[in-house]
Structure 1
Amino acid sequence: MSAPTPPGHAVADLLGLVALGELLAFDRMAADARLAPDLRRRAALSEMAAAEIANYRRVADRLTALGVPPDDAMAAYVMPLQAYHDSTEPRDWAEAVTKAYVGDAITDDFLRGIAVALGEPDRQLVLDVLHESRYAEFAAAEIRLAVAADPTVAGRLSMWARRLVGEALSQAGRVATADHGALTMLIAAGGDVDVAELFRRLTAAHTARMAAVGLNN
């Protein structure tokens, strides 16, 4: 039996979450690019920021087409998402790329898990704006270089990554359950979305990513 079609306001609720995530990611990456140790790396992170704002525009345009002002759709998520970024401000380049590697991946996994409840074209739109693998590969390579240059960095970055995932999962839990009725309806409408199982998958994927760059979970 197919899952019931989610109501339109629930679809707009999720798209609002995605749009704000893209907008804040642009802000953060553009600022973090100034921490880069050279122009090549600064340009790479700036390119990632440009991709984020382009993705924001795609989602905002879809919300407008649905008759929902993007500002209205995003408003409910400002506090939890801004709280995450405010509490996880990187101090240097290694922490910035670890945040890109860990935090963005957790966000993508969360949205990918919820997107199964959407119909088309919205499901594909959400999947399309998730971060490209080349960005994760760039961040992973930078973490490995930092650890190779100074093995003691691994301990600091491991602790930083644990903080990032803890904050990300805490805010994702707020978004997925208590704070937003329409989004909760969307998750309920998508029969394939099991929130507890989704969070287990997020944790398992995070553990694998940590190991892949030589950090301890």
Structure 2
Amino acid sequence: MTASTDGQVGDDAPLALQDPDYREAVIDLLGAIAYGEISAFERLAEDAKLAPSLEDKVAVASMAAREFGKVAGIHARIAELGADPFAAMAPFRGAIDRFHEHTAPSDWYEGLIKAYVGDALADDFYREIAAYLDATTRDLVVSSLEDSGHAAFVVDRVRAGIGADPRLGGRLALWGRRLMGEALTQAQRVAAERDALTALLAGGIDRPGLDLAAIGRMFARITERHAERMAELGLAH
């Protein structure tokens, strides 16, 4: 796929990418993911300061570096589509920043839960949308959502913490529910403000769409996966 000098997608692009509404939606989606990765990097770098040991500090800092390493590929794809990566990210700063402001962790364990559960909620949503993208963009999105070492590390540390202090489990279970509530609230605000993303799920040229029942099932799957992660952490309360 190529982009001409005037910013239009080349003739060899898939039919869907020649639909300006679809392309706008893809640019929106990639902008949201890119800014989410940058925010994840910043947050993990801050969380590293809360680490109780040098080993934990290095582990979290390494996860932060991997998150930041994903941004370049997403920016390149946005540029291929004829858009400015920073302009594409800008509409999502408010919602993503508000989510982080409302869910600032108070300690090491809350930071771990947020890094694992909070990021996974967004990733699950993006994976669901990826099924309705052209192949090149879909593969990029899926690869950008690959685990950066969060899962095994977080599960090990959280389970060890609960083993040492069983009271910790109740507090972290509540924290996990709060993260989900805040994530859904911000996602709804973004969808309401970005018509292109909402229209993406409805289908278009050369693309299937989702009806309301299918969208409901999609969110049910996201909720189920959240519950599975909480159970894996020992927080199925």
TM-score normalized by structure 1? 0.93
Contact 1:22-1:56 at 8 Å conserved across structures: yes
| CA positional deviation for 1:65 | 2.0
70-79 vs 148-157, which deviates more? 70-79
CA 1:201–1:192 in structure 2 vs 1: closer, same or farther (change >3 Å)? farther
Aligned-pair distance for 1:108? 1.0
- Tell me, yes or no, if structure 1 residue 5 matches structure 2 residue 19: no
After TM superposition, the score normalised by the length of structure 2 is: 0.85
Higher relative contact order (CA 8 A, sep 6+): 1
- Partner of 2:44 in structure 1? 29
Q: Would the aligned equivalents of 2:63 and 2:148 in 1 still touch at CA under 8 Å?
A: no
Q: Residue 183 of structure 1 is aligned with which of 197, 207, 216? A: 197
Q: CA deviation at 1:133?
A: 6.5
User: What is the number of equivalent residue pairs in this alignment?
Assistant: 213
Give 5+ residue unaligned stretches, structure 1: none
- Larger CA deviation: 6-15 vs 188-197: 188-197
Q: Displacement of 1:214 after TM fit?
A: 1.3
- Corresponding residue of 1:43: 58
Following superposition of structure 1 onto structure 2, how do residues 1-217 of structure 1 map, counting pairs within 5 Å?
Answer: 5=16, 7-132=22-147, 134-175=149-190, 177-189=191-203, 191=208, 193=210, 194-217=214-237
CA distance in structure 2 between the partners assigned to 1:110 and 1:165 by the alignment: 12
Moved over 4 A (4+): none
Most deviating of 82-91 and 189-198: 189-198
Q: What's the CA shift for 1:5?
A: 2.5
Structure 1 CA distance for aligned equivalents of residues 218 and 94 of structure 2 = 23
Work out the CA distance in 2 between the residues paired with 1:81 and 1:164: 13
Q: Is contact 2:67–2:148 with CA below 8 Å preserved after alignment?
A: no
How large is the RMSD of aligned CA atoms in angstroms?
A: 1.6
Q: Distance in 1 between matches of 2:193 and 2:179?
A: 21
8 Å contact kept, 1:116–1:192: no
* Percent identity of equivalent pairs: 43
